[in-house]
């Protein structure tokens, strides 16, 4: 079985098991994650000087149903400057339904259908941790850099550890640096461990916020990776 087929089967099984319900805004733990993540994303983009949203040219690799594209539009990005790509046809259908003015492509990030230097910002949210094949990870990393303009930024958000899910593999900071040699890296640990967030937010939002302040309880890396 190819790695792409394995990934397709994993996501089909997740849908069949109803696990997607964990990732809506109506699940309190996920709502907590999204709200705190948005705060952290604003800070990360501001630190890189990427605050002029109407001029920003951005690609979301592994766009899913389009959450990040919606966020950029809400912050003032122009739809004609945005693009998304995803492997799964159902994700593409969902993204196109809510973003008719944004270019949404179905395909693999190993072969991005965009010219060199097309974007100021290229993002990936929990794509790499879903890929167990290291050569594929390296090929995708090279493609993300290829479509960035010189001085452009890869925005990275992904697990460092996810022991409850054998279909994924967390990526540490040293592995991230190896995927993007010669690029300048800024990263920080974010996001309260999702199982803990689901448990605690059902009882106390303030307690969840207090726990998230403890670095050892954060399970993701948020990084900006600047192309030379």
- Within 13 Å and on the Cβ side, how many CA atoms surround 88? 19
pTM above 0.85, yes or no: yes
Rounded CA-CA distance 93/117 in Å is 27
Predicted confidence at residue 14, as pLDDT, reads 85
pLDDT for the residue 195: 93
**pLDDT tens-digit readout, 55-95:** 999 999 999 999 999 999 999 999 999 999 999 999 999 99
Identify the CATH class of 3-226: alpha beta
Which pLDDT score, from 0 to 100, does residue 165 have? Answer: 84
The stretch 28-32 carries a mean pLDDT of 94
Residue 189 confidence class, pLDDT cut points 50, 70, 90? very high
Strands 148-159 and 119-125: parallel
Q: Where are the domains of the chain?
A: 3-226
pLDDT at 209: 97
pLDDT in tens, 147-182: 999 999 999 999 998 877 888 999 999 999 999 999
Burial class (CB in 10 A: 0-12, 13-18, 19+), 80: exposed
Q: Percent of the chain beyond pLDDT 70?
A: 100
């Amino acid at each position: 079985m190819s790695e792409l087929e394995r990934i397709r089967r994993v996501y089909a099984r997740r849908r069949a098991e109803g696990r997607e319900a964990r990732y809506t805004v109506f699940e309190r733990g996920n709502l907590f994650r999204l709200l705190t993540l948005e705060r952290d994303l604003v800070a990360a983009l501001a630190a890189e000087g990427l605050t002029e949203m109407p001029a920003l040219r951005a690609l979301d690799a592994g766009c899913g149903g389009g959450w990040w594209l919606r966020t950029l539009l809400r912050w003032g990005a122009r739809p004609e400057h945005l693009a998304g790509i995803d492997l799964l046809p159902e994700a593409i259908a969902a993204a196109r339904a809510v973003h008719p003015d944004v270019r949404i492509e179905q395909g693999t990030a190993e072969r991005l259908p965009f010219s060199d230097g097309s974007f100021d910002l290229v993002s990936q949210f929990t794509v790499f941790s879903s890929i167990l094949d290291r050569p594929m990870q390296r090929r995708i990393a090279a493609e993300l850099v290829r479509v960035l303009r010189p001085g452009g930024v890869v925005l990275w958000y992904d697990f460092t550890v996810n022991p409850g899910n054998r279909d994924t593999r967390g990526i540490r900071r040293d592995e991230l640096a190896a995927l993007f040699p010669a690029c300048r890296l800024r990263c920080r640990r974010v996001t309260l461990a999702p199982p803990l967030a689901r448990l605690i937010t059902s009882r106390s939002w303030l307690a969840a916020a207090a726990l998230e302040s403890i670095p050892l309880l954060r399970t993701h890396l948020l990084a900006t990776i600047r192309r030379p």
